[in-house]
Structure 1
Amino acid sequence: MRGLCDAGRLDDAVHLLYSMLRRISQKGCDADVVVYRTLFYAICAVGRVALAEHLLAKVLLKGLRYPRRRRAFRPPELQGRSLEDMKRIIDDALVSGGVRSLASYKAMVEELYAEGRVGHADKLFDEMIQRRFRPPVSMFEAKIAALCKEGRVEDGARVVEVEMMERDCVPTVRAYNLVMDGLCKEGKATRAVGYLDGMDRQVGCVASKESFEVLVDGLCSEGRFLEATRILERMLRRRYWPQSAIFENVIRGLCSSGRSYEAVLWLEEMISQGKVPQVDVWTSLVSMVCLVDDLVKSSLFWDVLEHEPTYC
């Protein structure tokens, strides 16, 4: 359906929809709501609003399984609305106008979060909960991802710490990773480390390789290179092998802060895993060694001057 709409073949897409009407009458709209909305959006975008109204009414009537509800059915009106208003009406009608199901709510809400329409997604999310549907973990993850993408990391953290707990939904590794990544991008890597500790305390939630890499990158970007090495050590104890870029960031950072001994140790660890450092990593190490060598020579020179006898 999406491919036909993107190609502008709306008439073929309409024929495809007609072939799906029997499925709708048997199962309701269900998770296919996101398929139908694609077509309705495309038809409205080209100005064929009357056709969109007709097809939307047909889909909704097929999804109404009980005669009493059919008699009370009133098709939604799209004429005279802005495109954004038409989209909102279509979304609401597809989820609430037919036979309501967890699958249709889940599909629509996750799609809206992915599109960045957080306010509308939240409205349908709350409506779903009021109708006593229990939201799956994936819906919370979609919400966290959307909030973090908008820069609302604190709201995303609240979803993990409060909303999921209130719904007896155990936070997943992906949920934690999304919040940690958002915090690191805002320069709050130290706080993000606390979520790693929280995962260690939570039964059945084991930090992933991505969890550690996000934290190491975040700490390095803030210049906290020694803290980054401690996270890297925890990562290796879990037998997660970092990418070359992770090692290189740490080594460059240690070189820039004059930690030559630690930098060489992590270089050895990197090479022992069969990874070849980039040229600029070697350059950082050589520059640091040369700087130390110059400082040593300079120190010896002044020592000689201080102890050199003076002649009158």
Structure 2
Amino acid sequence: MNVRWPRLLTPTHLSQIIRNQKNPSTALQIFREAKHKYPNYRHNGPVYATMIEILGNAGRISEMKEVIERMKEDSCECKDSVFVNAIKTYAKAGLPNEAVSLFNSIPQFNCVNKTQSFNTLLQIMVNESKLEAAHRLFLESSYGWEVKSRIPSLNLLMEALCRKHRSDLALEIFLEMNYQGCCPNRDSHRILMKGLCEDGRLNEATHLLYSMFWRISQKGSGEDIVIYRILLEALCDDGQVEKAVEILGKILRKGLKAPKRCFRQFDLSRFSAGEDIERTKNLINEALIRGGIPSLAGYSAMAVDLYNEGKVSDANKVLAEMQERGFRPTHLIYEAKIAAVCSRANVDEALKVIEKEMVVANCVPNVRVYNIVLKGLCNERKSTLAVGYLKNMAKQVGCTADKETYSILISGLCGESRYGEASQVLEEMLIKSFWPGADTYNVIIKGLCSVGRQYEAVMWLEEIISQDMRPESSVWHSLVASVCSNMADIDMFFASFN
């Protein structure tokens, strides 16, 4: 272990040193040795956070646990995010009880806020359909002073219940919010509105909408149109077009606070026939977007909502109108559009969005936009073309490929059996100090063996061992089979001369 120790060590410097180590064991050794080399040095919260993150990403549970215990003994001030990473590591390793135990022990640390870790653990329980455990966790932990806001956790529980078509219970939680001293936010209304409408509870959904007029829409926010739209479309689908039109009028007057001049310009009489439900719903969307005061928030909310539902042509109309009105589209809109287009297996259209639309709109693609396109290209087995976009990303100001970018490309290339190219991308990934997991190395080594590139396979085997990871047994089998196959070919070559 060759480390160039500075004359004076600071926690920031140590964090940089251990983060640059590709071998987690080496990083841990440096972390431990620092205190012996510098008697006056003390680890702080960020150093512990870095070390815990490195060990967690490498799946070194026991060593991560040891560092967490040491952090507790040092009693240094630490942020909630440290426990978030550890909880996610435990969950990924299939150790939910360890995650719960760590969360319950947070009061023993010098941490004054556990809101983030609370919501993370709750989300994990909800995702695993452990609703009873999630409910118990909420009852036991949400009222402590360390949890600053209960609204996100209540929204999580409501969303989980709505997915199970228990919007009646979600409604009870919603009504209980006021008694718990927290006011439902826009997400609360959106989650409950969608759940009630999907369960056919349209009367309760209508009452919920009216409550918005004096709760979150007192100033007429454009973002509210997404929630209004859920109810209006549900009423149309239920054949209640006249009621939808009546409520639309109230929305324009009270919910969006539309000026009289804007309201007069929109004729609601054209909805009365209601013969074509889809056309009626399109007209309602048009009324919501045009009937109120034009705003970036309103246009963005409607466009993103339509793209997320796969209604690309309708969303494109909203996008075009918003640009005509002088509003510049945000990255959020383009991310939603590219994701919607890629989901239709039309990645060529997604490339046009990046190369033409975003250029005209003066919106520079970010790494999230590129990652969506790269995943679409790889899904359509165009991974070689996807690799070419790494150079494009490098040319963009402020757009740098991240770990997800390289993971997408390597997975796509391996899926097309392009193991040599995947090997090159992996090499670049390591140069940028993004360390993949053992699974990535295992796939590439076995793939290189299958195409007769044993030398490269052995090089990556040495790399995985240097990082103190353990290759799968199938990796060794692939290497042995590949070498033996080559020896058989050599024997056959010499036998042909006899």
Fold in common (TM above 0.5): yes
> Would the alpha carbon gap of residues 299 and 111 (structure 1) be closer, same or farther in structure 2, given more than 3 Å must change?
same
Q: Deviations over 1:251-296 (max 9, x none)?
A: 1221111111211221232233344434433332221122123334
> Would the alpha carbon gap of residues 72 and 227 (structure 1) be closer, same or farther in structure 2, given more than 3 Å must change?
closer
Q: Which amino acid aligns with 1:94?
A: L
Give, in whole Å, the separation in 2 of the partners of 1:71 and 1:107.
24
Contact 2:262/2:292 (8 A) holds in 1:
no
Structure 2: which 5+ residue stretches go unaligned?
Answer: 1-192
Q: Name the structure 2 match of 1:55.
A: 247
Give, in whole Å, the separation in 2 of the partners of 1:153 and 1:87.
28
Q: Name the structure 2 match of 1:242.
A: 436
Q: Of the candidates 238, 255, 275, which is equivalent to residue 81 of structure 1?
A: 275
TM-superposed deviation, 1:24: 7.2
- Secondary structure of 2:429 counterpart: helix
Give, in whole Å, the separation in 1 of the partners of 2:217 and 2:202.
23
2:38 matches 1:38: no
Query: Where do 1:6-21 residues align within 5 Å?
Result: 6-21=198-213
Q: Which amino acid aligns with 2:385?
A: R
TM-superposed deviation, 1:234: 0.6
Give, in whole Å, the separation in 2 of the partners of 1:106 and 1:293.
63
> Would the alpha carbon gap of residues 171 and 72 (structure 1) be closer, same or farther in structure 2, given more than 3 Å must change?
closer
Contact 2:252/2:263 (8 A) holds in 1:
no
Give, in whole Å, the separation in 1 of the partners of 2:273 and 2:350.
37
Q: Name the structure 2 match of 1:258.
A: 452
> Would the alpha carbon gap of residues 72 and 142 (structure 1) be closer, same or farther in structure 2, given more than 3 Å must change?
closer
Structure 1: which 5+ residue stretches go unaligned?
Answer: 307-312
> Would the alpha carbon gap of residues 10 and 273 (structure 1) be closer, same or farther in structure 2, given more than 3 Å must change?
farther
Q: Name the structure 1 match of 2:299.
A: 105
Give, in whole Å, the separation in 1 of the partners of 2:278 and 2:398.
42
TM-superposed deviation, 1:223: 3.1
TM-superposed deviation, 1:28: 2.2
- Secondary structure of 1:22 counterpart: coil
Q: Of the candidates 347, 352, 368, which is equivalent to residue 174 of structure 1?
A: 368
Q: Which amino acid aligns with 1:3?
A: G
Contact 2:219/2:257 (8 A) holds in 1:
no
Q: TM-score, structure 2 length as denominator?
A: 0.57
Give, in whole Å, the separation in 1 of the partners of 2:196 and 2:347.
37
- Secondary structure of 1:206 counterpart: coil
TM-superposed deviation, 1:105: 0.8
User: Whose radius of gyration is greater, 1 or 2?
Assistant: 1
Which is further off, 171-180 or 42-51?
A: 42-51
- Secondary structure of 2:271 counterpart: coil
Q: Name the structure 1 match of 2:332.
A: 138
Contact 2:446/2:475 (8 A) holds in 1:
yes
In the TM superposition, structure 1's runs of 4+ consecutive aligned residues that sit over 6 Å from their partners are none
Q: Which amino acid aligns with 1:101?
A: S
Identity %: 47
Give, in whole Å, the separation in 1 of the partners of 2:232 and 2:348.
35
Give the number of the structure with larger relative contact order, counting CA–CA contacts within 8 Å between residues 6 or more apart. Answer: 1
- Secondary structure of 1:27 counterpart: coil
> Would the alpha carbon gap of residues 277 and 131 (structure 1) be closer, same or farther in structure 2, given more than 3 Å must change?
same
- Secondary structure of 2:362 counterpart: coil
Q: Name the structure 1 match of 2:259.
A: 66
> Would the alpha carbon gap of residues 290 and 58 (structure 1) be closer, same or farther in structure 2, given more than 3 Å must change?
same
Q: How many residues align?
A: 304
Which is further off, 130-139 or 241-250?
A: 241-250
Q: Which amino acid aligns with 1:119?
A: S
TM-superposed deviation, 1:175: 1.3
Q: Which amino acid aligns with 1:59?
A: I
Give, in whole Å, the separation in 1 of the partners of 2:382 and 2:217.
51
Q: Deviations over 1:169-216 (max 9, x none)?
A: 111111112222222233322222221012122221110111111222
Which is further off, 36-45 or 164-173?
A: 36-45
> Would the alpha carbon gap of residues 66 and 97 (structure 1) be closer, same or farther in structure 2, given more than 3 Å must change?
closer
Query: Where do 1:185-204 residues align within 5 Å?
Result: 185-204=379-398
Q: TM-score, structure 1 length as denominator?
A: 0.89
> Would the alpha carbon gap of residues 80 and 224 (structure 1) be closer, same or farther in structure 2, given more than 3 Å must change?
same
Give, in whole Å, the separation in 2 of the partners of 1:117 and 1:49.
21
